[in-house]
Amino acid sequence: MAIEENRNCGCGNNDDDNYMQTMTNNNNCEGNDEVRREMINQIKSYDFAINELALYLDTHPEDEKALCLHRRYCKEVKELKDKYQKVYGPLTINYPCNKWRWLEEPWPWERGNY
Amino acid sequence: MWTYNKTLQYPVNIKCTDPKLAKVIISQYGGPDGELAASLRYLSQRFGMPDQKSKAILNDIGTEELAHLEMVGSIVHQLTKGASIEEIEKAGLGEYYTDHGLDVYPASAAGVPFTAAYIACKGDPIANLQEDLAADEKDFKCNYEKNIECRNFWKLSIEK
């Protein structure tokens, strides 16, 4: 996936430099939109699966298979969320940013990050 | 303590304004068997649970119900957004509009404001869990099926 970073951080203090800081604002063009849609769909699918596995594990904590799946999904979604947030802005207020990007995207009830 | 995730649990993207549908769906938000009642039921009962498993399951289900509440609120919001006063009046939402405009107010389909009387916390874990099972059954089996019946009856379109 070709993704350009758009974190808009100007201080150069980013913890990791895995992504180019191109500071572009072209996320709304067709191609990027499709990538974005696919990524957020994947993130939601992971989150849903993790949620349901957690509910199951609450009452079946000894189930190794469920535990293993839970561990795997948590790891995979973390990587995906890091990638997504670097480009499209924070999904939670726990994501550090030099510019307050929390306000930039529409809210979920307005079809933001859907 | 909770952290907000800036996504819906499942996407809500409604193409057609439809206040009439919103009038029945709002019961899932603030009605007797709605998501607000569900989340408060689980989250209030969890304090009195006797062991780790039951505390965890009520805590985590109650949390998920808040995500459901947000989805239902989004549905009501999108169904009513930009509706004309004529559409609102025709849908039977004139009285609602008088008090709440197009805000999403926790009330039942009949306009009864949300009340904590919809939930029970009985000081007894078994009684509480039975209440949860009954509430869930009412929510899913009755309300959602009735919503679908209404929707089919009106031949309305609500698209993903």
pLDDT digits (tens, 9 = 90+) for B71-99: 999 999 999 999 999 999 999 999 999 99
- The owner of tokens 């899913």 is B140
Average pLDDT value for chain B: 92
Check CB contact of B6 with chain A, cutoff 8 Å.
yes
CB contact under 8 A, B7 and A94: no
Shortest CA distance to B71 belongs to which of B132, B37, B25? B25
So what's the pLDDT on residue A77? 98
Is the per-residue pLDDT at B154 higher than 90? no
- Tell me whether residue B30 is in a domain: yes
Say which residues have a Cβ less than 8 Å from residue B68's Cβ, sequence separation at least 6. B9, B35, B38, B39
Q: What domain count does chain B have?
A: 1
Chain A hits for B56, CB-CB cut-off 8 Å, are 58
B100 or A98, higher pLDDT: B100
**ipTM of the shown complex:** 0.86
So what's the pLDDT on residue B160? 44
Query: Rounded to a whole number, what is the distance in Å from the CA of B54 to chain A's nearest CA?
Result: 8
Q: d(Cα B81, Cα B104) in Å, to the nearest integer?
A: 11
Check CB contact of B136 with chain A, cutoff 8 Å.
no
Return the DSSP state at B114. P
So what's the pLDDT on residue B50? 97
Give me the residues paired with residue B113 across strands.
Answer: B107
Per-residue pLDDT of chain A (114 residues; tens, 9 = 90+): 445 555 444 444 444 444 333 334 444 445 578 999 999 999 999 999 999 999 999 999 999 999 999 999 999 999 999 999 999 999 999 999 889 999 999 999 998 887
Return the domain boundaries, chain A.
Answer: 37-110
- For B3, which of A59, A94, A112 is closest by C-beta distance? A94
**Cα dist. A11→A17, A18, A70 in Å?**
13, 16, 36
Q: d(Cα B89, Cα B150) in Å, to the nearest integer?
A: 18
Shortest CA distance to B58 belongs to which of B142, B135, B141, B128? B128
pTM, two decimal places: 0.85
**CATH number of the domain that B82 lies in?**
1.20.1260.10
Q: d(Cα B122, Cα B35) in Å, to the nearest integer?
A: 20
pLDDT digits (tens, 9 = 90+) for B37-64: 999 999 999 999 999 999 999 999 999 9
So what's the pLDDT on residue B149? 79
- Tell me whether residue B19 is in a domain: no
Beta strands in B10-152 (DSSP E): none
Tell me which residue range forms the domain holding B119. Answer: 25-154
Average pLDDT over residues B107-122: 96
- Tell me whether residue B55 is in a domain: yes
CB contact under 8 A, A108 and B64: no
